Amino acid sequence: MRIRVRGLDPAEMEDRYAVPLLSFCLTIMIRDRMKASTLVIASALVMAACGNANDTRAQEGVFAEPNSRVVPGDAMAMKSSFAPVVREAAPAVVNISARSVQTVRDPFFQMFGGGVPQQRVAESAGSGVIVRSDGVVVTNNHVIEGAQAIRVVLNDRREFPARVILADERSDIAVLQLENVTGALPVLAIDDQEQQQVGDLVLAIGNPFGVGQTVTNGIISALNRTETGISDSGSFIQTDAAINPGNSGGPLVDMDGDVIGINTAIFSRSGSSAGVGFAVPASMVRRVVDSALGGASSVVRPWLGVRGDSVSADIARSLGLDRPQGLIVTELYAGGPGARAGIQDGDVITAVEGQEVNDQGGLNFRIGTHRPGDTVAISLLRDGRVVTVDARVQPLPGDADTDQGSILTQGPLAGLRVATITPALADRLGGDPFTRGVIVTGVTGKAAGYSLRPGDLIRAINGRPVTSADAVQGVTRRSELTIERGGRRMTGVVG
């Protein structure tokens, strides 16, 4: 088959342009004195640009078979197309619609104490990924939080109702079970080996803005991001692959077509992607999925019982370190896993199971990916020596029930429910497990006439520190009460 372009026969094109173009390419290569690697690429381009037009099979009417491409085997091939990876991954990515009913009042009438409460249907949309062929789906907790009805739409447009197996607010991961599933569904494997490197190519697949399934590509721009403000115990994969509203809960996929993270948040001034997105690493996703499939109603996180500060440049110099690294231990919980393992004040924790740690959030995350009872290798710097200790991590001690506590039955604060803080309770409430004192867990009766709220910490009565709920029983009129709320301390007199 012969073709003509702008009135030129292919043979004429070859005679007129091939030799001058080849000469031009070689001139550039010689003039710029290219490096060997660049020379190879340039040579390939010259061959492509200056080759014989008659050699292409397209001119014979023979074209590539549909879906004949394979997963790229090297970086150069990768740039040609991500289609083989997408073709394998996309069928397992789903769209999630969560519906809830909210009770609202007209703000105008509410100002005057009136107005009839009305119910409004609210709907949120996000993405998810099927991780087990019988319909187990992973998504973000914030996508389905508070939902009364959840509907999941597959890539092939099939729809299924879904129920929540486990929702973990701390990691922002939820696990759903599709209902009425017949036959095996497509799945993606969770790769929790953490072998990724900064610069690796990744794909973000989801349903941004509700426009339908969309694939964006980028690289891993950072690993182990902890100081993001998203979570105090999270360590995120950062990517420049475009993540927008609706992508939440969708997978971050590597070039093997495996899930290495769940897209959960972006940094943006406009609400749209600015090239800084964050994904929950697969190691934490796996931990939540295993808990859900194991029948647990919540994710029980172990802890080390260690608190510390990041090593600054000044601290590194004082310790004789060649660079700032690790977490310097400032406090150990008495009888906790860290203390029993032999960790000491002043030790610098540098790694957990070989994974680098540089702040408290990183330590919490690394410990949290393990199960209670696991023995974990902790790498330390002590007196200029590298030390490794084995710590058997355990759940936080104490009762985590937020409805616990004793109710004051007499005095001006009658009806106030208070509880002695335990590490488990403090953690459940989003606080520091090392916090000591008394927390307000409920306000009824006479106590409702004061400005106390659930979550307030009672720090002192008449200037004396409070360490147990029993001490609050002695509050009388004219007692001076010091409370802490949102990090601020306030002192007032009980009337």
Show which residues are catalytic.
142, 172, 248
Nearest to 343 by CA among 379, 291, 395: 379
Nearest to 101 by CA among 52, 47, 161, 147: 147
CB-CB contact of 372 with 241 (8 Å): no
- CA–CA distance, 198 with 204 (Å, rounded to integer): 16
First to last CA, the chain: 99
CB-CB contact of 72 with 80 (8 Å): yes
CB-CB contact of 291 with 166 (8 Å): yes
55 exposure class (CB count in 10 Å sphere: 0-12, 13-18, 19+): exposed
**Residue 84: other Cβ atoms inside 10 A:** 18
CB-CB contact of 90 with 59 (8 Å): no
Collect contacts of 74-79 with beta carbons under 8 A, ≥24 apart.
76/41, 78/201, 78/255
- CA–CA distance, 4 with 289 (Å, rounded to integer): 60
Tokens of 416: 């106030």
Cα pseudo-dihedral 368, 369, 375, 379, rounded to 10: -80
Q: Report the 3 state secondary structure along 266-334.
A: ECCCCCCCCCCEEEEEHHHHHHHHHHHHCCCCCCCCEECCEEEEECCHHHHHHHCCCCCCCEEEEEECC
- CA–CA distance, 495 with 479 (Å, rounded to integer): 8
Cα separations in angstroms, 326 against 230, 232, 291, 351: 21, 17, 30, 7
Cα separations in angstroms, 348 against 358, 391, 420: 9, 15, 31
Q: What are phi and psi of 376, to 5 degrees?
A: -120, 135
> What single-letter amino acid sits at 278?
F
Handedness of CA 78, 81, 82, 88 (dihedral sign): negative
CB-CB contact of 251 with 239 (8 Å): no
Handedness of CA 324, 330, 333, 334 (dihedral sign): positive
- CA–CA distance, 345 with 363 (Å, rounded to integer): 16
